[in-house]
Structure formats: C-alpha cells, structure tokens
C-alpha cells in the first residue's frame, strides 16, 4: 500500500524513525557530491573508475565491520590507498588506465570478500554492503559525510580549471606546466570519497549509477560544464528523495529504487532534451529537409507527415 506523502513527511519528523531522517540526509549529501564530481568523471570519460573505486573500498569496509569501527572511515582509507596505487601505475603509458583500474578492482574486491567472510553474520553483512541499507546508517556517519562533502567540493572548486584542462587535453596541460599526476590523484581521491559517502544507502554494486547517471542526464541538456554541474546534483537529489519515498512506501530496496528513478529520468531526458534529445533531433532534421527542398519563395511547404 502506498504511503501518502503527508504520512511520509510525518514519519521523517518522528523521533522514533531517526534512521529514516539519517538515510535521507546522507543520500542527499551523496547526491550533491556525486553530481558534481560525476560531472568531471563524465567529462573525462572515466566512468569505469567509479565502479573500480566502489570495489576498491570494499576491503576497508570489511575491516571496519570486523573491528566494529566506522565504515565510512574504513572505506575512505582503503579507497584513497587504492586511488594512489592506480594513479602511480597509470603513469606507465604502456598500460591503459582502464587496464590498471581493472587489476586493482578485482584484487580489492576479492580481498574484501576474504576479510568479511571471517566475520560472524557474513551473509547479512555482505548483502548490506552490496545493496545498501536504509536502517544501517549511524548518526556519527551523517556528520562525517557532511564534512567530507564540504572538503571535496572545496577542492573541486579550487582546482576546477586545472582538472578541466587535464580532462580535455592532457598534453596541453603538461605544456602549461600543470602537475598532471597530482591532478589525477586529486580526482581519484575525490571520486573515492564521493563513492564512500554513497555506499551505505546505495550499496557497492549500484553506487556507479549515482556517480554517472545524473551527470550523463545533465550532459544531454547542456554543453556548458558549469550548467552541467548545477543540473547533475539536482537530478541526484530529486532521485534520492523520490527513491526513498517509494522505497518506504512499497518496502523496496532503497539503493535499487533510487537507481531506477535516475534511469527513468535519463530515459525521459534522452527523448525530450531540447537540442540533443531524439524528438528534438527529428524536428531539426525535418526542418533542415524542408529548407533544403525550397526552390523559391512562393513554393508551398512540403508535407512531411
């Protein structure tokens, strides 16, 4: 049975359902963070690294779970270490960046599985890590996620021009004297932190969607990176709120529901985007055909139907 929106708001304000408030807050934070960082990921064409990082943080989550520590902190440590390794090994141009990422992706995820298999309640814990949980977010992690988001967004804002330059033309960036290795490392770490913040609600398997889909959707609507960075978190926050509401109403997995809302938004925009959508492209082609077929100012407009 569907929960009316007013009842959902009432549940959000209910102190006995504080976990629902925490889930919404941390998912909104994650959506904003992933939306902005994801714009750089889409611009650079490195969506694969989001998936790699999601797997790379898994051993840190597993160790933190076994030691009953902060999952957020454990994921950050593991992800940053892996990001540094990827950045170092990617400097060897005999190997493509995606090849290096693939090596560490599999190895990190395998290590996480080995570690968590030694913990009690292995099956239930693994499901929470892989698919997210609306009830498994400690209060301390909300503050940590907010601080991480502020820090990452600050770094991205300060280094925005340099990051864009490296993404668009790496050789030019080197000619301009930019430290491409350091900028690569900064971007990898920012992606890592964005992924870790998102893991607890969206889950390890689905986190790539939160990083890439809002930015890809925004990309269909604009050619300007600044506008894309505004629209991307808007799509993410919209999907987070609608997804949690639907999840709460129909008892659905929260991460999967958010991802499906994002996918629906992408499909709709793919069709109706003003300049790059399928419908708009057909109108442009029809208009161009009509103009090309004109042979005089008094000729009737051809019937295109």
CATH number, domain at 271?
1.10.3470.10
Asked if residue 31 belongs to a domain, the reply is yes
Residue pLDDT, tens place only, 180-230: 888 988 988 898 889 888 887 788 778 888 999 999 999 999 988 889 999
Asked if residue 260 belongs to a domain, the reply is yes
**For residues 83-120, b (16+ Cβ closer than 10 Å) or e, as one string?**
bebbbeebeeeeeebeebbeebbeebbebbeebbeeee
Which residues neighbour 148 within 8 Å (Cβ) at sequence distance 6 or greater?
Answer: 33, 72, 76, 193, 196, 197
Is residue 294 predicted with pLDDT exceeding 70?
A: no
Asked if residue 96 belongs to a domain, the reply is yes
Which residues neighbour 60 within 8 Å (Cβ) at sequence distance 6 or greater?
Answer: 74, 75, 76, 77, 78, 79, 112
Full residue range of the structural domain in which residue 286 is found: 5-292
Which residues neighbour 176 within 8 Å (Cβ) at sequence distance 6 or greater?
Answer: 165
Whether the CB-CB separation of 111 and 59 falls below 8 Å is answered with yes
User: Radius of gyration over alpha carbons of the chain, in Å?
Assistant: 22
Residue pLDDT, tens place only, 69-115: 877 788 888 888 877 787 777 776 677 767 777 787 788 888 888 88
As a residue count, the chain comes to: 305
Asked if residue 9 belongs to a domain, the reply is yes
Of 4-8, 12-16, 125-129, 226-230, the poorest mean pLDDT is in 125-129
Asked if residue 305 belongs to a domain, the reply is no
Asked if residue 43 belongs to a domain, the reply is yes
What Å distances lie between residue 208 and 69, 135, 243, 244, CA to CA?
Answer: 25, 21, 16, 18
Question: Which of 60, 4, 8, 9 shows the shortest CA–CA distance to 199?
Answer: 60
The CB density around residue 8, as the number of other CB atoms within 10 Å, is: 18
Question: Which of 266, 239, 268, 238 shows the shortest CA–CA distance to 255?
Answer: 239
Is residue 292 predicted with pLDDT exceeding 60?
A: no
Whether the CB-CB separation of 45 and 166 falls below 8 Å is answered with no
Find which of 92-96, 136-140, 263-267 is predicted with most confidence, using mean pLDDT: 263-267
Is residue 61 predicted with pLDDT exceeding 50?
A: yes
Asked if residue 298 belongs to a domain, the reply is no
Distance, in Å, from the CA atom of 76 to the CA atom of 60, rounded to the nearest integer, reads 7
Question: How many domains are there within the chain?
Answer: 1
> How many H-runs (helices) and E-runs (strands) does the chain carry?
15, 0
Which residues neighbour 6 within 8 Å (Cβ) at sequence distance 6 or greater?
Answer: none
pTM of the predicted model as reported, rounded to 2 decimal places: 0.82
pLDDT at residue 276 in the model: 65
- Phi then psi dihedrals of residue 173, to 5 deg: -60, -40
Asked if residue 303 belongs to a domain, the reply is no
Whether the CB-CB separation of 163 and 90 falls below 8 Å is answered with no
């Amino acid at each position: 049975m569907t929960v009316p929106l007013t009842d959902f708001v009432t549940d959000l304000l209910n102190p006995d359902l504080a976990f629902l408030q925490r889930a919404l807050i941390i998912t909104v934070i994650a959506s904003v963070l992933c939306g902005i960082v994801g714009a750089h990921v889409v611009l650079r064409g490195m969506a694969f690294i989001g998936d790699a990082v999601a797997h790379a943080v898994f051993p840190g989550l597993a160790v933190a779970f076994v030691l009953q520590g902060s999952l957020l902190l454990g994921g950050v440590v593991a992800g940053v270490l892996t990001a540094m390794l990827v950045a170092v090994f990617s400097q060897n141009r005999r190997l493509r960046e995606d090849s290096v990422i693939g090596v560490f992706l599999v190895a990190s995820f395998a290590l996480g599985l080995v570690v968590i298999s030694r913990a009690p309640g292995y099956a239930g814990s693994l499901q929470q890590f892989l698919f997210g949980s609306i009830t498994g977010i400690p209060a301390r992690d909300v503050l940590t996620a907010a601080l991480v988001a502020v820090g990452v967004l600050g770094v991205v804002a300060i280094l925005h021009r340099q990051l864009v330059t490296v993404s668009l033309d790496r050789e030019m960036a080197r000619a301009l004297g930019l430290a491409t290795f350091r900028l690569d490392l900064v971007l990898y770490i920012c992606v890592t932190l964005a992924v870790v913040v998102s893991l607890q609600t969206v889950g390890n398997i689905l986190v790539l969607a939160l990083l890439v889909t809002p930015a890809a959707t925004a990309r269909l609507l604009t050619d300007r990176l600044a506008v894309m960075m505004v629209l991307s978190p808007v799509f993410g926050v919209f999907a987070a709120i609608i997804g949690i509401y639907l999840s709460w109403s129909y008892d659905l997995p929260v991460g999967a529901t958010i991802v499906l809302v994002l996918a629906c938004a992408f499909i709709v925009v793919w069709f109706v985007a003003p300049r790059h959508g399928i419908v708009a492209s057909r109108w442009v082609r029809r208009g161009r055909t009509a103009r090309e077929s004109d042979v005089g100012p008094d000729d009737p407009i051809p019937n295109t139907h």
